[in-house]
Structure 1
Amino acid sequence: MGEFWPVPDALAYLAGRWRVARSVRDLAEGVQGEFTGTTLFEKQETGGLLHVESGTFTWHGVARPAERTLRFLPGPDGTADVRFADGRPFHELDLRSGRHVAGHPCAADLYRGEFTVRDAGHWRTVWRVRGPAKDLVLRTDYAREG
């Protein structure tokens, strides 16, 4: 991807419904799965967004319903503070340049995420997860609905 699309306010940009297509590659096992569904970034009274993702995850040929919830809280100068549903910190998100790299330690594994914005209706995340328990690449493309 060449140029990035700067986003002055991450929460304003993300608000709404997005189609989601994610590939999950397990580099240790040499297998790949996929998730397809939607993500709704719903405005909250607190000024943040509730991120609710739901769809179908296919792994080893078996399709199952899957969902997750995150909280995107307002950060300084148009950034966001991303939290798990229970309030634990996940990562910061600064899309003002159209690109952001985040890290998150999870037990002995390290998650490194790259967020890139292509335009008003398309953005991508690529998470690289390395450690004793995991060796994964998760690539997610988002396309705005409506």
Structure 2
Amino acid sequence: MAAWLPVPDVLAHLRGSWRVERSVLDLAGGDEGRFHGVTVFGPLDGGGLLHEESGTFTWRGVSRPATRTLRFLPGATPGTAEVRFADGRPFHPLDLTSGRWTAEHPCAADRYRGEFTVLDADHWRSVWRVGGPAKDLVLTTGYTREPLSTGYMRER
């Protein structure tokens, strides 16, 4: 039995509000940080979802407000998505039809490698390994569907 849940339509599944818990580990210096917040996947004009994340990031004992916006557009094949930055630049494709996906994104001389896993209808995880001359990080994010949030699995 697979340790992940296949998702036939990633956009329908992600729609709604998710509680976010992220750990950030600097492998070079040993520092650890934490992000706690919420990600809302809401409708995007023209199709797709607008991913709006907000919360508090704590790094080296200092807590600050933090936000991030991404666009999840319909992908090249049914049930998939193209993830883009807020300004429209490509980030990575996302295909969770098997319940698991890996993606890569070059950023200057650094390389981001992400692994996405759907654990069940209300939980998924991403792990980004960032390596290069400027960064040596592991970012592990757990997402838990908020009560009363609607997504593909809730609508079945």
Same fold (TM over 0.5): yes
Query: Does residue 106 of the first structure (1) align with residue 110 of the second (2)?
Result: no
**Partner Cα distance (1:137, 1:90) in 2:** 18
**Partner Cα distance (1:47, 1:9) in 2:** 14
- The corresponding residue for 1:40 is 40
**Partner Cα distance (1:82, 1:56) in 2:** 23
Query: TM-score when scaled to structure 1?
Result: 0.98
Select the structure that is richer in strand. 1
Specify the code of the residue in structure 1 equivalent to 2:9: D
Cα-Cα RMSD? 0.7
User: How big is the shift at 1:45?
Assistant: 3.0
Aligned residue pairs total: 145
Specify the code of the residue in structure 1 equivalent to 2:54: S
User: How big is the shift at 1:43?
Assistant: 1.2
- The corresponding residue for 2:154 is none
Specify the code of the residue in structure 2 equivalent to 1:68: R
User: How big is the shift at 1:44?
Assistant: 1.9
User: How big is the shift at 1:52?
Assistant: 0.2
**Partner Cα distance (1:70, 1:114) in 2:** 17
Q: Deviations over 1:67-104 (max 9, x none)?
A: 00000000121000000000000000000000000000
Q: Deviations over 1:2-24 (max 9, x none)?
A: 61100000000000000000000
Specify the code of the residue in structure 2 equivalent to 1:63: S
- The corresponding residue for 1:77 is 78
User: How big is the shift at 1:28?
Assistant: 0.6
State, as a whole percentage, how many aligned pairs show the same letter.
Answer: 70
3-state SS in 1 of match to 2:3: coil
Counterparts in 2 of 1:1-146, with a 5 A limit? 3-75=3-75, 76-146=77-147
Give unpaired runs (5+ residues) of structure 1.
none
3-state SS in 2 of match to 1:78: coil
**Partner Cα distance (2:45, 2:93) in 1:** 21
Instruction: Identify the range of structure 1 (39-48 vs 63-72) with the bigger mean alpha-carbon deviation.
Output: 39-48
Specify the code of the residue in structure 2 equivalent to 1:97: S
